[in-house]
């Protein structure tokens, strides 16, 4: 209603000569701009209008009429290679791969978190765009997994025989307490050799005992999950108060489940067989909790 008509007027174009469809605008926003405002979006619209205006002018000189319909495919031809990517769910369940959700200066983004386990001597390797808070989240995640080693069927000293590598390949400059559950799920999946649901996203921080703590940016993160074609998202129980801020269209499209403990997260995230007894021994979980809290 505003940017396109202004750019068309500035470039001497009329509605009878060019139509920029909504799908093309969406492609511009997702693939050619990454910003909190619309300045670069207007520049890209102007670039399209300039190229269309040149063709219209050439046709006018030859007494020909031109009507350009700008579609996503036409955007690619006019502006060249895509400049940005946005997260899309994987096409299959993968071991050690989890769809995390993060809040950045340009809104919510889908952040893949990868974990791999290799023979080693107990090192926890963290690579990618990881700030101090996220590194602490990884340490807390490892402590939680160690406290559940008996339930998971791991040796008590498993962490002394392997190196665990956590990698966040596509996260921009952000560091906040919201990746604990994602990192922990990726590490657990890699250690157990059990894949994670490809259509599931999550956000939340954890304590040493596996409690899921609230986070910020719920609205933006759920928008990113919806854009990334996820089917289900896990959020902290204490963030239920933030759901009314999320557009109804997004709430209806996503299955949003609230969780308060890492055990619940893993039940939902890991692709388990019906016969798998993981997490079924509730008394063992209680014993692990008491053991973790015991002095020494």
Catalytic residue annotation? 178, 221
- Are 87 and 112 within 8 A, CB to CB? yes
Q: Which residues pair with 251 in a beta bridge?
A: none
Residue 39: count other Cβ atoms within 10 Å of its Cβ: 9
State residue 285 phi and psi, 5-degree precision: -65, -45
Instruction: Give the count of alpha carbons within 13 A of 90, CB side only.
Output: 19
What does the alpha-carbon distance between residue 132 and residue 100 come to, in Å, rounded to a whole number? 17
What does the alpha-carbon distance between residue 223 and residue 109 come to, in Å, rounded to a whole number? 8
* Nearest one of 207, 208, 209, 255 to 235, comparing CA atoms: 255
State residue 207 phi and psi, 5-degree precision: -100, 175
User: Position of tokens 């020494």?
Assistant: 296
What totals of helices (H) and strands (E) does the chain contain, helices first? 11, 13
Cα 41 to Cα 3, 27, 69, 106, 226, distances in angstroms: 9, 10, 18, 13, 22
């Amino acid at each position: 209603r505003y940017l396109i008509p202004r750019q068309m007027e500035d470039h001497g174009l009329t509605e009878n000569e060019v139509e920029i469809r909504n799908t093309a605008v969406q492609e511009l926003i997702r693939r050619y701009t990454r910003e909190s405002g619309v300045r670069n979006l207007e520049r890209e619209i102007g670039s399209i209008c300039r190229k269309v205006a040149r063709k219209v002018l050439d046709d006018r000189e030859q007494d020909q009429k031109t009507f350009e319909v700008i579609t996503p495919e036409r955007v690619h031809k006019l502006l060249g290679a895509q400049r940005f990517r946005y997260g899309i769910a994987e096409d299959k369940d993968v071991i050690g791969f989890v769809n995390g959700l993060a809040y950045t200066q340009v809104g919510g983004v889908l952040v893949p978190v990868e974990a791999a386990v290799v023979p080693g001597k107990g090192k926890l390797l963290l690579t990618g765009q990881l700030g101090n808070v996220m590194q602490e989240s990884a340490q807390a995640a490892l402590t939680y997994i160690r406290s559940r080693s008996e339930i998971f069927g791991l040796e008590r000293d498993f962490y002394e025989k392997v190196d665990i590598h956590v990698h966040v390949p596509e996260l921009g400059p952000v560091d906040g307490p919201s990746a604990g559950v994602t990192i922990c799920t990726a590490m657990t999946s890699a250690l157990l050799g059990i894949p994670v649901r490809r259509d599931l996203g999550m956000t939340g921080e954890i304590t040493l005992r596996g409690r899921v703590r609230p986070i910020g940016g719920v609205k933006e993160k759920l928008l990113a999950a919806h854009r990334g074609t996820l089917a289900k998202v896990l959020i902290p129980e204490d963030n239920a108060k933030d759901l009314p801020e999320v557009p109804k269209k997004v709430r209806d499209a996503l299955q949003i489940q609230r969780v308060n403990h890492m055990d619940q997260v893993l039940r939902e995230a890991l692709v388990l067989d019906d016969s798998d007894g993981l997490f079924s021994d509730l008394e063992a979980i209680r014993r692990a909790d008491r053991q973790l809290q015991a002095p020494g």
